[in-house]
Chains A and B, each alone.
Chain A
Amino acid sequence: MGATDMDVETRVSGTVVDPVHGRLDARIPPGPIDKKWERHRFDMKLVSPANRRNCTILVVGSGLAGSAAAASLGELGYNVKCFSYHDSPRRAHSIAAQGGINAAKNYRNDGDSVFRLFYDTVKGGDFRAREANVYRLAELSVNIIDQCVAQGVPFAREYGGLLDNRSFGGAQVSRTFYARGQTGQQLLLGAYQALERQVGLGTVTMQTRMEMLDLVVVEGRARGIVTRDLVTGAIESHVGDAVVLATGGYVNVFYLSTNAKASNATAIWRAHKRGAFFGNPCFTQIHPTCIPVSGDHQSKLTLMSESLRNDGRVWVPKKAGDTRAPDQIPPNERDYYLERKYPTYGNLAPRDIASRAAKEVCDDNRGVGPGGRGVYLDFTDAIKRFGESAIRERYGNLFDMYERISGENAYRVPMRMYPAAHYVMGGLWVDYNLMSTIPGLFVGGEANFSDHGANRLGASALMQGLADGYFILPYTIADYIGRTRPDKVDEGHPAFRAVEEEVLGRITRLLDVKGKRTVDSFHRELGRIMWDDCGMARDDAGLRRALEKIPELRAEFWKSVRVLEGSEEVNQSLEKAGRVADFLELGELICIDALHRTESCGGHFRKESQTPDGEALRDDEHFAYVAAWEYTGTLARPNLHKELLHFEYVHLTQRSYK
């Protein structure tokens, strides 16, 4: 179906549900911000230890949030089933996070505090996050580090045996804890080990190679999921008293991203179509330091931790079209543009700002490397100052990784970097209890929209995933179960049968298209549309163009995709096809959201809304809200619900990192 301009207009302005009488209640507890969580923990219901065994909780996803939640709920005595489409929970993409995890420990005595971490996070998110959630996150950050150290996470240490810290993109205090360049791996292994311990004890059943394909809602509550066994193809129903989605982000909608190849939106998108509102889908993060694309064959992009920006200096030639080798360009002909534009933060400017700045210089024809889409990240000065061995100790594995991929030795020649799609702040809308608009459906980690506003600061994702999993969901799920006591339902319930039929029908439809084009070719094309028109800089014309192209591409997909037979065995193209089909729908919602938000904020930059010197210009009067989209049955016409954001503790300012 082609979208006309009128369609777009109605989508954007005609469907706003009255926020007061709408269904959005964030359930933020009363009281001063530093007492809300403590008070709420007291107010929440408990489930007696004897009853926990009779409650089944389904946790979908086994990354930081999923593993942590499943392990913690198992420890409490609930009957937990955890699902992963990988062969082992340890493969979840949290494993690839490099840089570190923030915690307001103030071990450095440099003026950090819970309030400062809270303030920095709200500000870093360009004032589009919910204050109460962020404050709780900052509070819990300290417990996370304690928990992880006790689990044996080998964080970096100082000679005295105490934990080491470093400062990280966008922060003026050193509050980031790290384990070389593999912090995510070590934290995930900690959570994975806690999870496997529970599996061994029999409190958690781990279902690997099992993909959730739909959510089952019975009498308005989330009561289970339908999965496909990726080895046998069996479609199965699983009943639970509550469902947790911790299925990660959807940035693979851009095709090329730093996410893992299998990262997808299917679980949350299916839940969205069953009634869960989607919060701020257009808030996507572009990471400034990734290895540039080397050709059309490229299947994914590799991020280099932004900790590199602590010692590396970012520059491009001053002259457009300068093709000299980097060491042939004298210092006075180099433009250290981040240091020039943002003297206070310099190379440590937040991600969205650093990314856009890189795009600008490359658009200026001053980019370096093949294709001109790259900037230098130069360690020459740092090596001179600290010596090569110090730099090797700090970033050795990153330099090795760079060399493996690019074939270049970054100790000798500057790295080349370019922004890449990396993370999504958007996700399923959740209230303070991390529950979506479907009662009993909880969402944790990157899959929810909650804590990062319009831009996530470095080292905050790991913090949020673990806070959700270890310290929030175990309480709030108990509260839900304690309050509702849902009736017993089993797999034979007609609602489960009906969803199973739908899932099977969808698989059959995909197999029956029998067209000519591969799934990947559609994914690539969608990615190009999204990157060109809904990427680092967006404008009205581009978004409208994308909104015409995406439905066309989707129609084309269902007409000519080729998925090979074999629904009862490992069929990787069938798996991909289902995921890409969902991206083709989600992509449209992202563009609708991006089109309706005519302000710039954080990772969402609208060309129409910028300051005279090209910085993002927010419109707090009209857009200080969370856009929560409701699926109406027609992809082109979702309903917009607004959760107005109130800032009592953080003063709304124009973000400035100059």
Chain B
Amino acid sequence: MKLTLRVWRQKNANARGRFVTYEAKNITPDMSFLEMLDVVNEELIGRGEEPIAFEHDCREGICGSCGFMIDGVAHGPKRASTVCQLHMRSFRDGDSLTIEPWRAKAFPVIKDLIVDRSAFDRIIQAGGFISVPTGSAPDANAILVPKENAELAFDAAACIGCGACVAACPNASAMLFTAAKVSHLHLLPQGQPERYDRARNIVATMDKEEFGGCTNIGECEAVCPKEIRLHFIALMNRDLIRASVRDWKVGRRAAGM
């Protein structure tokens, strides 16, 4: 196979970027998309040109490192897949593809297709956990979790933090990522004590990180490699509303009303 790639090149965060066109030759359908880029990079290095920088690690779709836009779709045309799991058999010989980094204020470009997603870590720091210091846990089977809840919690917990949801959202919102973590913990009995504080803190941090607002469009769900569902956002919203009602009540009680 032979393809034409239009790739975003940007030397560093402050430099101006531009598209550069490359030919990808000697590509086979069994290659993954990243292996195709490896081939292009080997050739670039051979010519003394800088290889295309892209983030990747496990190459089996679980670490969440990789991801960029292929022809305007986060992680490319295959549903429920990261770019490392996208194989060239999804393309045709002679295709011309545009490759762009995730674009969001909260994800500044570091180089070429690499963006800084540390905002996600800060969201988790704000409440994406259950406060359980090492050594303080009761026996594992002392906590009963209905199978159904465990399964649903797992569906939400499957998030790999790749950032495709933000990239695909017309508002550059991080609601699906945030809601996945909140829902994972809220669906389990262990997550109950901190439930409302968590929802409030985590969403406040998301806003502070300058992600956009959610308008329930659903493009996030469409590109999520782990098929995390939009209804988790509703689940988080429910807790947010309850959190404000609770705050109001607590405030009234504190004011002696």
**Direct touch of chains A and B (CB < 8 A):** yes
Chain B: which residue is nearest A302 at the CB level? Answer: B60
**Contact with B58, one of A163, A200, A260, A566 (Cβ below 8 angstroms):** A260
B104 vs chain A, min Cβ distance (A): 15
Chain B: which residue is nearest A231 at the CB level? Answer: B110
Chain B residues numbered 22-41 whose CB sits less than 8 Å from any CB in chain A: 28, 30-32, 34-35, 38-39
Does A476 have its Cβ within 8 Å of any Cβ on chain B?
Answer: no
A556 vs chain B, min Cβ distance (A): 17
B137 near A147: Cβ-Cβ < 8 Å? yes
Chain A contacts of B58 at CB under 8 A?
Answer: 91, 93, 95-96, 260-261
Chain B contacts of A152 at CB under 8 A?
Answer: 130, 153, 184-185, 188, 190-191
Given the known inter-chain contacts A86-B65, A401-B61, please indicate yes or no for A146 contacting B38, CB distance below 8 A: no
Chain A contacts of B200 at CB under 8 A?
Answer: none
Chain A contacts of B150 at CB under 8 A?
Answer: 154-157
A105, A302, A566 interface centre (most CB from chain B within 10 Å): A302
A524 vs chain B, min Cβ distance (A): 10
Does B256 have its Cβ within 8 Å of any Cβ on chain A?
Answer: no
Does B11 have its Cβ within 8 Å of any Cβ on chain A?
Answer: yes
Chain A contacts of B61 at CB under 8 A?
Answer: 401, 404
B219 vs chain A, min Cβ distance (A): 22
B56 near A87: Cβ-Cβ < 8 Å? no
* A490 vs B46: C-alpha distance when bound (angstroms): 43
Does B217 have its Cβ within 8 Å of any Cβ on chain A?
Answer: no
B135 near A154: Cβ-Cβ < 8 Å? no
A149 near B140: Cβ-Cβ < 8 Å? yes
B12 near A88: Cβ-Cβ < 8 Å? no
A600 vs chain B, min Cβ distance (A): 31
Number of A-B contacts (CB under 8 A): 218
A197 near B154: Cβ-Cβ < 8 Å? no
**Contact with A154, one of B32, B64, B120, B154 (Cβ below 8 angstroms):** B154
B110 near A294: Cβ-Cβ < 8 Å? no
**Contact with B136, one of A87, A150, A262, A572 (Cβ below 8 angstroms):** A150
Chain B contacts of A160 at CB under 8 A?
Answer: 144
Given the known inter-chain contacts A297-B39, A520-B38, A570-B53, please indicate yes or no for A154 contacting B140, CB distance below 8 A: no
Does B139 have its Cβ within 8 Å of any Cβ on chain A?
Answer: yes
Chain B: which residue is nearest A179 at the CB level? Answer: B154
Chain B contacts of A294 at CB under 8 A?
Answer: 30
Chain B residues numbered 47-84 whose CB sits less than 8 Å from any CB in chain A: 48, 50-51, 53, 55-65, 78, 80-81
B39, B81, B141 interface centre (most CB from chain A within 10 Å): B141
Does B93 have its Cβ within 8 Å of any Cβ on chain A?
Answer: no
B116 vs chain A, min Cβ distance (A): 7
Of B94-102, B121-129, B166-174, which stretch is located at the interface?
Answer: B121-129
B144 vs chain A, min Cβ distance (A): 3
Chain B: which residue is nearest A518 at the CB level? Answer: B45
A404 near B87: Cβ-Cβ < 8 Å? yes
* A71 vs B132: C-alpha distance when bound (angstroms): 11
Chain A contacts of B55 at CB under 8 A?
Answer: 87
Chain B contacts of A197 at CB under 8 A?
Answer: 125, 129, 131
Does B157 have its Cβ within 8 Å of any Cβ on chain A?
Answer: yes
Chain A residues numbered 502-549 whose CB sits less than 8 Å from any CB in chain B: 516, 518, 520-521
Given the known inter-chain contacts A196-B125, A407-B87, please indicate yes or no for A150 contacting B190, CB distance below 8 A: yes
Of A184-192, A236-244, A317-325, A642-650, which stretch is located at the interface?
Answer: A184-192
B146 near A161: Cβ-Cβ < 8 Å? yes
A564 near B125: Cβ-Cβ < 8 Å? no
**Interface residues as binary, B131-161 with A (CB distance below 8 Å gives 1, 0 otherwise):** 1111111111101111100110110011011
Does B105 have its Cβ within 8 Å of any Cβ on chain A?
Answer: no
Chain A residues numbered 143-189 whose CB sits less than 8 Å from any CB in chain B: 143, 145-152, 154-163, 179-180, 182, 185-186, 189
Question: What does DSSP make chain B's interface, helix, strand, loop or mixed?
Answer: loop
Does A405 have its Cβ within 8 Å of any Cβ on chain B?
Answer: yes
* A474 vs B50: C-alpha distance when bound (angstroms): 44
* A298 vs B31: C-alpha distance when bound (angstroms): 7
B147 near A300: Cβ-Cβ < 8 Å? no
B141 near A162: Cβ-Cβ < 8 Å? yes
Does B244 have its Cβ within 8 Å of any Cβ on chain A?
Answer: no
Does B2 have its Cβ within 8 Å of any Cβ on chain A?
Answer: no
Chain A contacts of B145 at CB under 8 A?
Answer: 154, 157, 161
**Contact with A87, one of B30, B65, B160 (Cβ below 8 angstroms):** B65
B64 near A150: Cβ-Cβ < 8 Å? no
Does A199 have its Cβ within 8 Å of any Cβ on chain B?
Answer: yes
Does A72 have its Cβ within 8 Å of any Cβ on chain B?
Answer: yes
Does A573 have its Cβ within 8 Å of any Cβ on chain B?
Answer: yes
B130 near A161: Cβ-Cβ < 8 Å? no
**Interface residues as binary, A609-639 with B (CB distance below 8 Å gives 1, 0 otherwise):** 0000000000000000000000000000000
Chain B contacts of A87 at CB under 8 A?
Answer: 55, 65, 116-118
Chain B: which residue is nearest A397 at the CB level? Answer: B158
Given the known inter-chain contacts A147-B135, A299-B35, A520-B42, please indicate yes or no for A95 contacting B140, CB distance below 8 A: no
**Contact with B121, one of A196, A231, A300 (Cβ below 8 angstroms):** A196
**Contact with A151, one of B31, B62, B132, B144 (Cβ below 8 angstroms):** B132
**Contact with A518, one of B42, B50, B89, B185 (Cβ below 8 angstroms):** B42
A-B contact pairs, 9 of them (CB 8 A): A87-B117, A90-B64, A146-B137, A151-B137, A192-B124, A196-B125, A295-B30, A299-B34, A404-B78
List 15 extra interface pairs beyond A93-B58, A93-B63, A155-B150, CB under 8 A: A88-B64, A90-B161, A147-B135, A151-B129, A152-B184, A193-B129, A200-B125, A231-B110, A260-B63, A295-B30, A299-B34, A401-B85, A518-B42, A564-B50, A570-B53
9 interchain residue pairs of minimum CB distance: A161-B144, A200-B125, A150-B137, A193-B129, A146-B137, A154-B154, A157-B150, A72-B134, A260-B57
